[in-house]
Amino acid sequence: MTNPPETPSPQSYPIIGNLLSFLHNRHRFHDWVTDMLSQTPTSTLRVCTFLNLSHGICTANPTNVQHLLYTNFPNYIKGSRFHNVLCELLGDGIFNVDGHLWTVQRKIASHEFNTKSLKNFVADTVKSEISNRLLPYLSAASLADEQFDLQAVLQRFTFANILNVAFGVDPSRLDTENSEFGKAFDLAVETTSSRFLSPVPLIWKFKRFCEIGSEKKFKDAIKVIDNYAMKIIESREDQENEIVNNSDLLSRFMSNDAVQFQDHDQKRKFLRDIVISFVLAGRDSTSTALTWFFWLIAARPRMAELIYKELLSVATAAAAEEGIVFGYDELKKLHYLHAALSESLRLFPPVPINSRLTVDDDVLPDGTHVGKGWFADYSAYAMGRMEKVWGPDCKEFKPERWLNDEGVYQPLDPFRYPVFHSGPRICLGKEMAFVQMKSVAAAVLYEYELVAADGGGTAEKMMDPPYMLTLLLRMRGGFLVRLKKRRCGPPET
């Protein structure tokens, strides 16, 4: 029996490992990783860090991803590497812990993402925010022929939604602090991203110890974030007698006794971590996904027209009203829009790369050895661009790949498409995210044509997309657009 070939590695040198290659390609990190993975026999790489301080692998192989996220799930945890980098921001929130703490939070949160909650989410929160905040803003910008940053607008919109649906907080009550919090949160996400990608972690740890440079700014940002989260918690505590009758996410955690606390301060810290974790998921992930979707559609008038025709086909008498907002039942009929959003997420996943820590030695299905204590990364960004996974047209934006012969949306293997992860840690908010994205996309594209300042996501621009290197695949410099009111009115009723 012959031994499997050694797993390929980026150009590596004694002592410095892959440092030179990383620094040379840092500005296009995800595309660099994609290039390397696409050239390896099994779409898996071995990574050697500076001074051999840590070892790991990165994969875009669906069978390996299934092994990491499902088949051998207990062996691949968030672990100390993940927790150490994100502890100040996410604490012991659901995205940063393993074991009992994760199980309890997962169980409580799962109650918030059932079908009834989804319908209420659309009826009460999304429709209200679109009608009362988003569309009036877009209408004013359109009438003034004003250029604006759509990414920033979408962030504010999704933030207001998560405050309402997850925490039962009217976003207008915190309007004065929202902007300050948003800036602090963005800075914190960027700093933790830099920590993850630091070739020499000792540098950021030293800066944290001395409270200098970026780590000093990070510490100040965390204070702003903590104060904001505590105001949310205090607002719910003030309504303590009403919490029994309230079904928002924060109320469920406040009334649950599955986690025991030493005192009130410890419980507040736990609730603070819950708030920040779901702000990260609800504010940044969804707005990032929508930004790339609109960027791609802005460069493809034919697809924008197909979406518009589909919207016309499901619009009810309510479409005659100014600023239509599609309901839950209508959204379910939007198969082409759902396909276009899925295709956008395939190419531009909000979380482009994810990491696990190995508990014990293991061998992946492709023969790759993974040592105890190694990191094991999987790149959703690279997987969406793998010819082995998606065929020779893998880098093209083709919503039709998600539709059957009757034009009905067909979900695909989640291990080929780990945008929402999979296995026991699959994203609980997947359906809610699609409801929100379809609601926003439908409301905007029914009323307006987008004119992107950069021309949108043409095939040429997709070869070098303008992303920032952070935990989330945010667009660098924002997404500047103008809106043109559609001349065609709603269908006759």
Type and span of the H or E element at 208:
helix 201-210
Cα 94 vs. chain centroid, distance in angstroms?
A: 15
* Average pLDDT value over all residues in the chain: 86
Q: Is residue 493 one of the residues assigned to a domain?
A: no
The annotated binding site is made up of 427
Domain count of the fold of the chain: 1
Main-chain phi, psi angles of 45, to 5 degrees? -125, 150
HSE on the CB side for 293, CA within 13 Å?
29
Largest CA distance in the chain: 73
Instruction: Report the C-alpha gap between 161 and 278 in whole angstroms.
Output: 11
pLDDT tens, position by position, 346-376: 999 999 999 999 999 999 999 999 999 999 9
Q: Is residue 8 one of the residues assigned to a domain?
A: no
Q: Is residue 7 one of the residues assigned to a domain?
A: no
When pLDDT is averaged across residues 464-492 and rounded to a whole number, the result is 84
Q: What is the CATH number of the domain that holds 333?
A: 1.10.630.10
Two tokens at 31? 């595309």
Which has the closest alpha carbon to 407: 491, 309, 294, 316?
309
Two tokens at 426? 């699959």
pLDDT tens, position by position, 108-130: 888 777 767 767 777 778 888 89
Residue 20 identity (one-letter amino acid)? L
How would residue 13 be classed by pLDDT, with cut points 50, 70 and 90? low
Instruction: Report the C-alpha gap between 448 and 161 in whole angstroms.
Output: 22
Q: Is residue 389 one of the residues assigned to a domain?
A: yes
The annotated binding site for heme is made up of 427
Give percent of the chain above pLDDT 90. 56
Q: Is residue 491 one of the residues assigned to a domain?
A: no
Q: Is residue 13 one of the residues assigned to a domain?
A: no
pLDDT tens, position by position, 294-304: 999 999 999 99
CB atoms within 10 A of CB 127: 17
Helix ranges, 213-332 (H): 213-237, 249-255, 264-279, 286-298, 301-314, 328-331
Q: Which domain holds residue 266?
A: 19-485
Residue 467's beta-bridge partner residues? 475
Which has the closest alpha carbon to 152: 179, 188, 121, 125?
179
Q: Are 419 and 472 contacting, i.e. CB atoms less than 8 angstroms apart?
A: no
Two tokens at 348? 């531009």
Q: Is residue 320 one of the residues assigned to a domain?
A: yes
User: What local confidence, expressed as pLDDT, does residue 3 receive?
Assistant: 42
Q: Is residue 132 one of the residues assigned to a domain?
A: yes
Q: Are 473 and 290 contacting, i.e. CB atoms less than 8 angstroms apart?
A: no
For residue 475, what is the DSSP state?
B
Type and span of the H or E element at 153:
helix 150-167
When pLDDT is averaged across residues 422-449 and rounded to a whole number, the result is 92
Type and span of the H or E element at 74:
none
Instruction: Report the C-alpha gap between 36 and 65 in whole angstroms.
Output: 17
The sign of the CA dihedral 7, 8, 12, 13 is positive
pLDDT tens, position by position, 307-328: 999 999 988 644 545 457 788 8
